[in-house]
Chain A
Amino acid sequence: MAEKELLSQIRNLSVEYKTRLGQVSAVDSVSFDIYKGEILGLVGESGCGKSTMGKALMRMIQPPGKITGGQIIFQGEDIMTYDDNQMRDFRGRKVSMIFQDPMTSLNPTQRVDEHIIEAIQVHEPQVKIEEALKLAEKMIRKLGMQKRRMNSYPHQLSGGMRQRVMVGLGLVLNADLIVADEATTSLDVIVEAQLADQLKDIREEFGVSLLVITHNIALVAEISDRIVVMYAGHVMEIANVEPIFDNPLHPYTRGLLKSIPNIKLNDTEELYKMPGEPPNLTHPPSGCRFHPRCPRVMPICKVHGPDLTEVSPGRFVKCWLYIDHPEKESETIKVEA
């Protein structure tokens, strides 16, 4: 990628859910950047806080959840300071979102054109209906759908087409960022590949940034420029796509990569399933949240959590293997109660 221009900076963002069993620390002090026109993959097993992160980015966390701290800088402004009206304008015009289930993310009693016209007129009331209709038509055609689909109700469209309509709803308002949360997960393989291709085309054509949230690291390898790896509410690794696949640093990233059927790290390593599962986030593990499952765990990992650290330009890791600590070599770190 040429000159990278910042679109958004997420800084120390934390989200908690209040549940009967206690506070769920779903996103804990997460920081990463989103550049203009890039496809950023956000990966991790399910339950790692990816969807929470995606929603938090638009300040769409509903009770019992709450953003408990941090900043979301978007085009230089901290949207955490926005009031309701500014937020409403921000959603749709700046950031748009595509969801996992295309069957339910469109209003079943509204036609496609009604959806698009509504999205336009809500944000730009001065746009006349004929004009909005023309824009809608143009968008539908750009997404490779026939014009007659404008008059379809959601149930008359296939899953892939519905997701394209969702994409189109973001694009008609010239959103700068589209968040796609498991947007291809429920589609079958061929349609998934088509949609993934289309997302790449859209990025080229509209210069829009995409945050692709998925548990499927193969998909991320396929379409992303950069990857953020999340585990148990923490960002574990951030890197461009090639280096992370060539040389994953974080043990969790390694584990994720090893479990893809078609990418082998080297010939001697067998395909495997990572042992254990993500922790219950009401009581996250002490120290490094990955330590109970980590094949390279050290005594310090159980006590102190490492910081996300830039180990080479643009490459961040949150792991003691790559960070110095005075007690790192010690075998006798006292485990705090």
Chain B
Amino acid sequence: MSSSLRRFLITRILLTIPMVLILVTMIFFIMRVLPGDPIRSQLGPRVSEEQADALRERLGLNRPLYIQYFDFLWDMVTLDFGTALTQGERPIRDELGERLPATIELTIPAIAITALIGILSGAFAAKNRKKPIDYSIRLLSIAIYSIPIFFMGLIFQIIFAVRIPILPLSGRMDTLLLTQFESITNFYVIDAILTGNWPALRSALTHLIMPSITLGLALTGVFVRLTRVNMIEMLQSDFITAGRARGIPERRLVYKHALRNTFIPILTLLGLQFAILLAGAVLTETTFSWPGVGRYLVDRIELRDYTAVQATIGVFALFVALISLLMDIIYALIDPRIRY
């Protein structure tokens, strides 16, 4: 790593701090402005005021707001995140530790599907611009793009879990197997391999198919468009014409020269799309009862569990920041013109 790249990375990391800080601060206050509170959401409307106050006191919600705020910030800095206010009041770090791997296990194959299908069909459409195959790909991508995730998930569930029951309906693993499953990293696929538990591996993988395809497909539309537009522009650039004039085969021009240069704008947008990916993950997790961070977030927002929501969103923000940092590094590796 060159020293200039290192300096760039340090600056980037330092810049993420105010970004995340602003975000979590906003969430902190928005949660408290929203109607409803964690006490009522748990105890129901008919509890006495004394009972509510007692709980409030125990959870530290009676302290001045600024103290709660700095307390929360300190929890973020120490990566402790505090404890949830509802449903067992577990340490949030433990909750996320269990659920974050579930979300990552879902999103990685989804991204792979998106990137593979989206980029390849986008490039293929660009290569065959204005031919029937181009129109079909574009039409299909718009259609997929406009189907809501939960609806697509539901259709898949009806077809592949109910009508032709070849795939499990929801969850991460068969309940029966789960009771004896030894989880080390909470990435079930990895754990199953580590413990040599083949039936569990099989179950984990089959459970992954529908949710990851749903999430992957949902994001594919954007990628097809993005790749196609950028490829068309790239294919008209001088160096492609020059390559053609040098007798370089068309396939090589499209899939090596043009596509590699197209990765640069695509990657930038991929970084920006990451937030959308997380939003998609939330919906997918809800549809497939996937015990990931997304579902946790939705549940806890409903319960107005301030600390859990704050911490989860904080972690999301850190994640997005981390990914965009990663993008910048890949970017620098692909494009020699970029030297930080």
Residue of A nearest to B238 (CB): A104
Chain B contacts for A108, CB-based, 8 A: 239, 261, 335-337
Chain B contacts for A169, CB-based, 8 A: 246
A91 and B245: CB pair below 8 A?
yes
B244 and A122: CB pair below 8 A?
no
| A253 CB, nearest partner CB in chain B, Å | 29
The interface-forming segment of B35-43, B114-122, B247-255 is: B247-255
Chain B contacts for A123, CB-based, 8 A: 247
Residue of A nearest to B258 (CB): A107
A97 and B261: CB pair below 8 A?
no
| B169 CB, nearest partner CB in chain A, Å | 46
Interface 1/0s, chain A 93-104, versus B by CB < 8 A? Answer: 101110101001
Q: Is A109 an interface residue (CB 8 A)?
A: yes
The interface on chain A, measured as residues whose beta carbon lies within 8 A of the other chain's beta carbons, has a size of: 31
Q: Is B243 an interface residue (CB 8 A)?
A: yes
Interface 1/0s, chain A 40-69, versus B by CB < 8 A? Answer: 000000000000000000101000000000
Chain A contacts for B257, CB-based, 8 A: 107, 110
Q: How far is the CA of A89 from the CA of B247 in the complex (A)?
A: 6
Q: Is A194 an interface residue (CB 8 A)?
A: no
Interface 1/0s, chain A 117-139, versus B by CB < 8 A? Answer: 01100110000000000000000
Most buried by B among A93, A106, A109: A109
B336 and A155: CB pair below 8 A?
yes
In the complex with contacts A101-B238, A104-B238, A104-B239, A109-B334 CB distance below 8 A: yes
Residue of A nearest to B260 (CB): A109
B252 and A122: CB pair below 8 A?
yes
Those of A172-220 within 8 Å (CB) of chain B? 173
Most buried by A among B242, B257, B260, B337: B242
Q: Is B62 an interface residue (CB 8 A)?
A: no
B244 and A107: CB pair below 8 A?
no
Q: Is B25 an interface residue (CB 8 A)?
A: no
In the complex with contacts A104-B239, A108-B336, A108-B337, A58-B249 CB distance below 8 A: no
Residue of A nearest to B247 (CB): A92
A60 and B246: CB pair below 8 A?
no
Q: Is B185 an interface residue (CB 8 A)?
A: no
| B257 CB, nearest partner CB in chain A, Å | 5
B244 and A105: CB pair below 8 A?
no
In the complex with contacts A104-B238, A104-B239, A166-B242, A118-B335 CB distance below 8 A: no
B246 and A99: CB pair below 8 A?
no
Q: Is B237 an interface residue (CB 8 A)?
A: yes
Those of B207-265 within 8 Å (CB) of chain A? 237-239, 241-249, 252, 257, 260-261
| B134 CB, nearest partner CB in chain A, Å | 14
Chain A contacts for B249, CB-based, 8 A: 88, 122
Those of B323-338 within 8 Å (CB) of chain A? 334-337
Residue of A nearest to B249 (CB): A88
Interface 1/0s, chain A 231-250, versus B by CB < 8 A? Answer: 00000000000000000000
Residue of B nearest to A95 (CB): B245
Residue of A nearest to B337 (CB): A155
Residue of A nearest to B237 (CB): A104
Q: How far is the CA of A105 from the CA of B245 in the complex (A)?
A: 11
In the complex with contacts A107-B257, A109-B261, A153-B336, A88-B247 CB distance below 8 A: yes
| A84 CB, nearest partner CB in chain B, Å | 8
Chain A contacts for B252, CB-based, 8 A: 122
Q: How far is the CA of A99 from the CA of B334 in the complex (A)?
A: 25
Residue of B nearest to A123 (CB): B247
Q: How far is the CA of A99 from the CA of B243 in the complex (A)?
A: 11
| A227 CB, nearest partner CB in chain B, Å | 23
Q: How far is the CA of A89 from the CA of B246 in the complex (A)?
A: 9
Chain A contacts for B244, CB-based, 8 A: 60, 91
| B298 CB, nearest partner CB in chain A, Å | 42
Q: Is A90 an interface residue (CB 8 A)?
A: yes
Q: How far is the CA of A229 from the CA of B260 in the complex (A)?
A: 41
In the complex with contacts A99-B241, A105-B238, A122-B247 CB distance below 8 A: yes
Q: How far is the CA of A101 from the CA of B241 in the complex (A)?
A: 12
Chain A contacts for B335, CB-based, 8 A: 108-109
| A6 CB, nearest partner CB in chain B, Å | 23
| B190 CB, nearest partner CB in chain A, Å | 35
Q: How far is the CA of A153 from the CA of B244 in the complex (A)?
A: 20
Q: How far is the CA of A206 from the CA of B181 in the complex (A)?
A: 74
Which A-B residue pairs are the 6 nearest by beta carbons? A92-B247, A104-B238, A91-B247, A97-B245, A153-B336, A92-B246
20 residue pairs A–B, Cβ–Cβ below 8 Å? A60-B244, A88-B249, A91-B246, A92-B245, A96-B246, A97-B242, A97-B245, A97-B246, A104-B238, A104-B239, A106-B242, A107-B243, A108-B335, A108-B337, A109-B334, A109-B336, A111-B336, A119-B246, A170-B246, A173-B246
